[in-house]
Amino acid sequence: MAVAKTSKQQLYVNSVIERIKKDTAMAAALKKADNPNTEFRAWEYLADYQVNIENPKERIPYATISAAIARAKPQNDGILNLGQAIARSGKEGIPSDQERAKLRRILACDTVEEACSILRSLLSLINSRDLKISYGQLLYELCWFEKNPQTTKARWAQFFFRNKGEEE
């Protein structure tokens, strides 16, 4: 399930990465987007990109990924699937029981809201390890999570256990 580089989510991620390089107010607002108490500060920026902020199943994934991008300040989008990034977040890039527990926790999620709440700390860890996750791919997966969560979770698990570079 390779994500086309021109998906709505990928275009959004690419645009946000470029825009926060120049727009410090946007970057500051987006950093708080994944906190339910402060996410309203990012609504104007999400709405700029036609994100339906009234729909939590759309707003929360965009807010979660936007906050992660604003904190990480990547030069461009990465290539790692979530499963790969979790696997490589272990010491010396080798998954241990801790990484397996993190994977099990994200795989136990039943709703996109629950997945996004788990992703908040997980994306901080991935960023602290300087792993180049594909925010566009992750946002795409989160936007479609509710339609078929088992497929998305199976994909994350497959990439965790396979732990190869991006080959798609």
| Per-residue pLDDT tens over the stretch 100-145 | 999 999 999 999 999 999 999 999 999 999 999 999 999 999 999 9
The average confidence (pLDDT) of the chain is 92
Alpha helices in the chain (DSSP H): 8-22, 24-31, 43-48, 56-72, 82-88, 97-107, 112-128, 135-143, 149-162
> What CATH number belongs to 8-162?
1.10.520.40
Write out pLDDT tens, residues 13-47: 999 999 999 999 999 999 999 999 999 999 999 99
List the chain domain ranges. 8-162
